[in-house]
Amino acid sequence: MIEAGDNPLLQPWTAPFGLPPFERIEPAHFVPAFDAAMRAHRAEIAAIAANPDPPTFANTIAALDASGRAYVRISHVFRNLAASATSPDLQAAERELAPRTAAHANAILLDAALFARVDALHGRRDALGLAPEERKLLERLHLDFAYAGARLAPEARRRAGEIGERLALLTTTFRQNVLQDEATQGVVITDERDLAGLPASLREAAREAARQHGRPDAWFISLSRSIVTPFLAWSDRRDLRERAFRLWTRRGELDDARDNRPVAREILKLRNELARLHGFSSYADYALTDRMAKTPAAVAGLLERVWGPAREKARIERDALAATARSCGATHAIEPWDWRYYAEKVRRARYDLDDGEVKPYFVLDRMLEAAFDCAGRLFGLRFVRRPDLPVYHPDVRAYEVQGADGRTVGVFLSDNFMRPTKRGGAWMSSFRDQSRAHGESLPVIVNNNNFAKAPDGVPTLLSADDVRTLFHEFGHGLHGLLSQVTYERLSGTHVLRDFVELPSQLFEHWAFDPGVLERHARHADTGEPIPHELVLRVRSARRFNQGFETVEYAACALLDMALHASEDPEGVDVAAFETAELARIGMPREIVLRHRLPHFDHLFGGNGYAAGYYVYLWAEVLDADAWDAFAEAGDVFDPAVAQRLLRYVYSSGGTLDPAEAYRAFRGRDAAIEPMLAERGLVGDEAPAWPFRRAPRVSLPRTRRAVKSPPGRPRPTK
């Protein structure tokens, strides 16, 4: 029994849809709330483990899935607020709780008596007569225990627990260090002449960023991607571009007091030790046993098919940039802080496409409505604005999500703007996951973006990349909202890491469908729809600069695998390793990693994407092939294809083997050609490369899935 007292986290939540009482929650409430919730959870676990009756699915597996409701509920709130609306007090609580919550999880997963019950059921699963979802839950939980170390000898089990607790603190420290750099560092501009080249929308965003940092008299080029990358593309001041670029790429190592390089080094060492405890020679071998790819060799095979053509195309792109620079009178070589600037000039010349011409048609509110409309036409959803619902920040908008029959299917929270108290990037998370094992539990899903907010009274305009990000995260959101499973452990996005990006990346395709744009992209000032001719120019430029974009992403994935495939990372100098590995793969001098190691939150801000950054490319093979299913049907909203997509991808969660789910949707394995064609790496626009035809990617059969910790925001590329 939990003692509620005056703590709102422990009292009944009486807001509509059981939303948290955000207005009453303070950082000081979390530690005592976790203490009480963990005590209650441990009592439930002890009762399951000590049950004198023989283990059954109901008294062991279903009971485990249902346990710790208060703990899970509080965890969701805590982790979301720590990422989206943090404070020094909340960060202090996060540092205190990180090893303690890790120890709590270890106490459950390394409980010998509890695992004995789960293992006994798993050993005779064929004879239990379980429904398919019940069997999947049993297999998933059994793998969770084994993956955590339940099968290890006692001393190794103890050490695995210690490593988990230490990693929890280190990854928290890493995230907070990056957030601090992003929240405090940037380029302050006080002379309006230094804004030369910047469009009005970017000037306004920089002015608003400066206001948030207490400098209403200036403009602030923050280290948020939504401000710094357009600054690099538009600023005529090469010296300021270089200064902003160097700050941006050195996040996580700008201050000795929060240098992430020793943090990353210790994380790598501990991960390798954990892998060796489990009998693997490297962390990559250990991590990939629970992914679709299964082995580092499979990952390498995909990355190598892309790296050579991408690098060659980037070389061709660089030569075009150099020619443009010379035509502008420049005598310097192309440097990394020049690439986006001259690429924008090439794009304007080659495609007659100016970002300043396009952005007024990409008004945030209308693009969000476009995403809602696509979800309605595909899946029958309706998003009803609910300003009466409690939210954790004034920027957040709440929506009740209704199905085609008018019944509520969940709540959607849209949090789109950057702010100093919010970490960078974009991600989807949840305040509650869907399930129905113990009464209908409706999902509460949140999308976080970091768009540059326009001043009051001025519409926020998005770049094409921002629109793609909006639709990407919304695809993740739909994956959570449309879940139709019984058990929470298998709900929504709790699937294999290299499958979880399929619903999000696939949804990006609708963002630039001509019909969608002509219906929703309207000029911010005139309200006129985007001209069809401009839509055609936008689409014709979609492969532009793909060599650069593929290289900066694929190099990160290759570096990630090299780091985690190392069998002896003891004392590794991450900066030296990064330099040496980029030299080994032939990284073009003019391009840098999308995420350098000191701020590579995917790898070191948690364990989910470690030895797993490749998953975006793996999922891109699937999403490009899946989009072809609509193209083949002749309608991007074809009802039959959409219904298959809903049934086998968006609603099934972890109840289906992902490879089999894709085959059920598509009727076959995915082909790699659509992805290569989308990136311009094959066909008339591609450089020559030594593969005449790329074979289909065979999706390995597996019964394994993966889940992020409850409420842990999932970062995106």
Task: Give per-residue pLDDT as tens, 245-296.
Answer: 999 999 999 999 999 999 999 999 999 999 999 999 999 999 999 998 999 9
Q: pLDDT at position 702, please?
A: 30
Say if residues 713 and 429 touch (Cβ distance below 8 Å).
yes
pLDDT at residue 238, rounded to an integer: 98
Residue 307 backbone zone (phi > 0: left; psi -120 to 50: alpha; other: beta): alpha
Integer Cα distance of 678 and 668 in angstroms: 20
C-beta separation of 563 from 230 below 8 A: no
Tokens of 594: 């999308």
Lowest mean pLDDT, pick from 383-387, 435-439, 596-600: 435-439
All CATH 1.10.1370.40 domain ranges in the chain, comma separated:
16-179, 359-540
Q: Please give the mean pLDDT across all residues of the chain.
A: 92
Give the C-alpha distances (Å, rounded to integers) separating 379 from 375, 409, 644. 6, 12, 11
Q: Give me the pLDDT at residue 687, please.
A: 35
Mean pLDDT value across residues 176-202? 95
3-state secondary structure 130-194: CCHHHHHHHHHHHHHHHHHCCCCCHHHHHHHHHHHHHHHHHHHHHHHHHHHHHHHCEEEECCHHH
Q: Which of 473, 488, 508, 590 is catalytic?
A: 473
Topology of domain 16-179, per CATH?
A: Neurolysin; domain 3 (1.10.1370)
**Residue 569, pLDDT score:** 83
Q: Give the CATH number of domain 359-540.
A: 1.10.1370.40
The confidence score (pLDDT) of residue 707 equals 31
Write out pLDDT tens, residues 429-442.
999 999 999 889 99
Residue 444's pLDDT band (cuts 50, 70, 90)? very high
Q: Can you give the pLDDT at residue 681?
A: 79
Contact 655, 646 (CB under 8 A): no
Length of the chain: 717
Residue 393: CB atoms within 10 A of its CB come to 15
The pLDDT score that the predictor gives to residue 688 is: 31
Alpha-carbon distance of 709 to 101, in angstroms, equals 10
Q: Which CATH superfamily includes the segment(s) 283-351+545-635+658-678?
A: Neurolysin, domain 3 (1.10.1370.10)
Residue 543 to residue 512: CA distance in whole angstroms: 13
Beta bridge partners of 400: 384, 411
Whole-number pLDDT of residue 127: 97
The pTM of the whole model exceeds 0.75:
yes
Confidence bin at 675 (pLDDT 50/70/90):
confident
pLDDT (mean) for 694-703 = 31
Cβ neighbors of 317 (< 8 A, separation 6 or more) are 343, 346, 545, 547, 548
Query: CA-CA distances (angstroms) from residue 322 to 170, 317, 341, 343?
Result: 43, 9, 11, 10
- Exposure of 431 in the CB half-sphere (CA atoms within 13 A): 27
57 vs 182: CA distance, rounded Å: 48
Q: What is the largest CA-CA distance in the chain?
A: 84
Q: Of 94-98, 417-421, 497-501, 710-714, which range is least confident?
A: 710-714
714 membership: H or E segment, kind and range: strand 714-715
Q: Is 313 helix (H, G, I), strand (E, B) or coil?
A: helix
- Helix/strand/coil for 293: coil
Q: So what's the pLDDT on residue 306?
A: 93
- CA 365 to chain centroid, in Å, comes to 22
Average pLDDT, stretch 363-391?
Answer: 98
Q: Is 387 helix (H, G, I), strand (E, B) or coil?
A: coil
Give the per-residue pLDDT at 555: 97
pLDDT, one tens digit per residue, over 127-170 is: 999 999 999 999 999 999 999 999 999 999 999 999 999 999 99
d(CA 541, CA 358): 12
Which pLDDT tens digit goes with each residue over 299-355? Answer: 999 999 999 999 999 999 999 999 999 999 999 999 999 999 999 999 999 998 888
With a pLDDT cut of 70, the percent of the chain lying above it is 94
Q: How far apart are CA 349 and CA 366, in angstroms?
A: 29
pLDDT reading at 709 higher than 50: no
pLDDT for 242 beyond 80: yes
Angle between helices 88-109 and 69-84 in degrees, nearest 10: 140
473 labelled catalytic: yes
pLDDT at 4: 64
